[in-house]
Amino acid sequence: MSKLHLHQHDLPDGLDLGRMVAIDTETMGLDPRRDRLCLVQLSAGDDTAHLVQILPGALDCPNLKALLTDAAVTKLFHFARFDIAALFHALGVLTTPVICTKIASRLVRTYTDRHGLKDLCRDLAGVEISKQQQTSDWGAMELSPEQLNYAASDVLYLHVIWQKLEALLRREGRYEIAEAAYGFLPTLAKLDLLGYGEPDLFHH
Ligand code: MN
């Protein structure tokens, strides 16, 4: 049974989540400029999730910001582009360095077009996760046990998934191009916030 810790506004002092931290966010919607950040989920890959609830007007979270910008800690996301933009818009810090399992999956699992987190959990971690709470009200002052469990499941399996994808990237000779793509993600998130989302800057 995985462990779940709920924190208010920030991570506790002195918490060490290691050199690679899985991170996900829940927001009020899909537009990071319009929809506020409500929850930041983190895991060290040790079957424990730390959930930081961000309430309106309480956006000073020095420990979380220090982790997001710590050059010695790699932040592991699924679809990092959105989370980096949401975190930058809400907290004013650019998350780096990052890895994105969705990009890794697209680069090596070319035999499928199913690159959602649910697909990767099933195919690479052997875990069925539910996406039922995805569209629930993350702005609620008190989150339900179902919401908290769902939010935790979005970070608990990312390390296992990344291990599999990393091996595939090396096998297929695409590790370096994946790294280059991750390096561009913070800039891409900024471009999204500037309004260069669709069509993107590179489109004809
Ligand atoms: Mn999520």
User: What CATH number should be reported for the domain holding residue 144?
Assistant: 3.30.420.10
Write out the two tokens for 194: 């500037």
Domains in the chain, number: 1
Residue 123: predicted pLDDT: 96
Name the residue with higher pLDDT: 68 or 130: 68
* Ligand 1 centroid, distance to 164 Cα (angstroms): 21
Residues 50-65 have a mean pLDDT of 90
Has residue 184 been placed in a domain?
A: yes
Has residue 200 been placed in a domain?
A: no
Has residue 201 been placed in a domain?
A: no
Q: How confident is the model at residue 132 (pLDDT cuts 50, 70, 90)?
A: confident
Q: How confident is the model at residue 131 (pLDDT cuts 50, 70, 90)?
A: confident
Residue 28: predicted pLDDT: 95
pLDDT of 109 > 70? The answer is yes
Residue 189's Cβ-count burial label (10 Å; 0-12, 13-18, 19+) is buried
Residue 177: predicted pLDDT: 98
- Containing domain of residue 155, as a range? 3-193
Has residue 199 been placed in a domain?
A: no
Q: How confident is the model at residue 59 (pLDDT cuts 50, 70, 90)?
A: low
Has residue 131 been placed in a domain?
A: yes
- pLDDT > 70: percent of the chain: 99
pLDDT of 4 > 70? The answer is yes
- pLDDT > 90: percent of the chain: 89
Name the residue with higher pLDDT: 185 or 204: 185
Spatial separation of the C-alpha atoms in residues 14 and 73, rounded to whole Å? 15
* Ligand 1 centroid, distance to 204 Cα (angstroms): 32
For the ranges 51-60, 75-84, 120-129, 146-155, the lowest mean pLDDT is seen at 51-60
143 alpha-carbon distance from chain centroid: 19
Residues 156-182 have a mean pLDDT of 98
* Ligand 1 centroid, distance to 106 Cα (angstroms): 19
| Amino acid found at 154 | D
* Ligand 1 centroid, distance to 174 Cα (angstroms): 27
- The protein residues having their C-beta less than 5 angstroms from ligand 1 (an ion) are 24, 154
Residues 170-180 have a mean pLDDT of 98
Integer CA distances (angstroms), 178 to 30, 140, 169, 174, 175, in order = 25, 37, 8, 6, 5
Q: How confident is the model at residue 25 (pLDDT cuts 50, 70, 90)?
A: very high
In this structure, are strands 20-27 and 48-53 parallel, antiparallel, or unpaired?
A: unpaired
Q: How confident is the model at residue 58 (pLDDT cuts 50, 70, 90)?
A: low
Has residue 165 been placed in a domain?
A: yes
* Ligand 1 centroid, distance to 154 Cα (angstroms): 5
Residue 135: predicted pLDDT: 82
Full-model pTM: 0.95
Has residue 198 been placed in a domain?
A: no
188 alpha-carbon distance from chain centroid: 15
Has residue 108 been placed in a domain?
A: yes
Residue 110: predicted pLDDT: 96
